[in-house]
Amino acid sequence: MERLTAAGDDGIVIVAFQEDGPRTGRVRRGALRGLRLAVKDNIDIAGVPTTQGSRFAGEVASATAPVVSALEQRGATTVAKVNLHEFAYGTTSANPWFGAVPNPARPDRIPGGSSGGSAAALAAGLADLALGTDTAGSIRMPAACVGVVGLRPRTGSLDRSGVRPLCPSFDAVGPLARTVTDVVLAWNALADGAPGPAAVVRDRSRNGAPLGREPSQEPRIGLIGFDLDPATDLTHALDRSTGLDGLGSALEKIGARIDPDPGIDDAGLDRVQDEFWPAFRFEASRTHAAWFPARAEEYDPSVARKLAGAAGVEPAVHEASLAALVRRRSALLADWGARGIDAVLTPTLGCPVPSVGADEFAVQDALGRFVAPWSALDLPALAVGGVQIIGRTEADVLALGLRLEAEGLVARPAP
């Protein structure tokens, strides 16, 4: 394997590879043949430094992460490792060491984080597939900011060996692409033989034919967070709220039954986050205990500020937070089952995409409002640009995403 560049000058690429890319084993089947793969630089590729977006923490990986190998063995060609918010701990991907990741779709706006380079590589046409990580929205926020598709699967559904941790109870690795169809292709390669609860979406296709399990003919869809005027036509209101032309009409075409009360409201999302952030901060602080605060001056100032604020959470608080989230997840799923709710839709972002140079600490809570709670509850979530689909399993959210895509839904940047 030969590196072509040590770092890009566009804020996206950290390392580029030869056209044929690295290989970790024999290609079993070619479902991904011809598709170029970009890998977030907190995921290992043998023989290449994994920088984690840091100027001091990079080390050469001795083995390739299984999630990368799974895609390569289906024919994908790794073409680049890509930039991120340092240590996957941030929402802007304004990396002071490797350059701020741009937003190719909207150059005056941020690309989101922390998997900003993964989403930007797709939007810029540098790759067809990407791998990112998502602990509190780090795949879905960039997908919304640049207008691509990204899946956060359940924590532990895929092998996380060779994926550098931030908060192990909540970290997830997942695929991004420009279409739901290609995310499904990547997911199937990742899920085939995975150790966790990952399920392959059957009947793969690249030509727009239906994929997924046999769907409900009239799925019951809950809505959260949409600014809908009862006097306004639902189709146009949904399109306006998400920035996605075609969402409302696609829901109509699949016969979706809309439920305005999906068992959790804005106040419920706030309660979930109240239980989530103590556990998140405890684990982030523990992950960095060997370096922080001893090497605080070598960190991105935004990350150092977060780690300083994460200090001091007691183990008992961490355990209580995890237990409370498990109870809340169980109660919500039981409620969905009793009422027949198949999926929930939300905007992906809780605010307009911020301008380049925006103060991260002024926008991060709003950016993550609709993504962080599902990480906390460990439910799979699919961002199709500015709209997010949440369900019980990855197969459920992907099947619904495919049905909506078949009826005209296209990922576009959030407003």
| Active site amino acids | 40, 114, 138
End-to-end, the C-alpha distance of the chain in Å comes to: 41
Amino acid letter, 92 = T
Three-class secondary structure of residue 328 per DSSP = helix
Distances (CA, A) of 313 to 236, 335, 372, 397: 45, 32, 19, 34
Which segments of 151-215 does DSSP mark as H helices, in order?
Answer: 180-191
Residue 254 burial (CB count, 10 A)? 17
Tokens at 245, concatenated: 């032309």
- Dihedral of the alpha carbons of 22, 105, 374, 255, in degrees to the nearest 10: -110
Residues 6 or more apart whose CB falls under 8 angstroms from that of 153 comprise 172, 173, 174, 187, 198, 380, 394
Distance of CA 230 to the CA centre of its chain: 32
DSSP track, 71-121: HHTTT-EEEEEE--SGGG--SS-EETTTEEPP-SS-TTB---SSSHHHHHH
Pair 375, 152: CB distance under 8 Å: yes
- 296 DSSP assignment: G
DSSP reduced 3-state for 29: coil
Two structure tokens written together for 101: 């990741």
How buried is residue 364: exposed, middle or buried, by Cβ count under 10 Å (0-12/13-18/19+)?
Answer: buried
Decide the pairing of beta strands 13-17 and 77-82: antiparallel
Q: Distance of CA 43 to CAs 151, 197, 323, Å?
A: 16, 21, 29
Contact 17, 86 (CB under 8 A): no
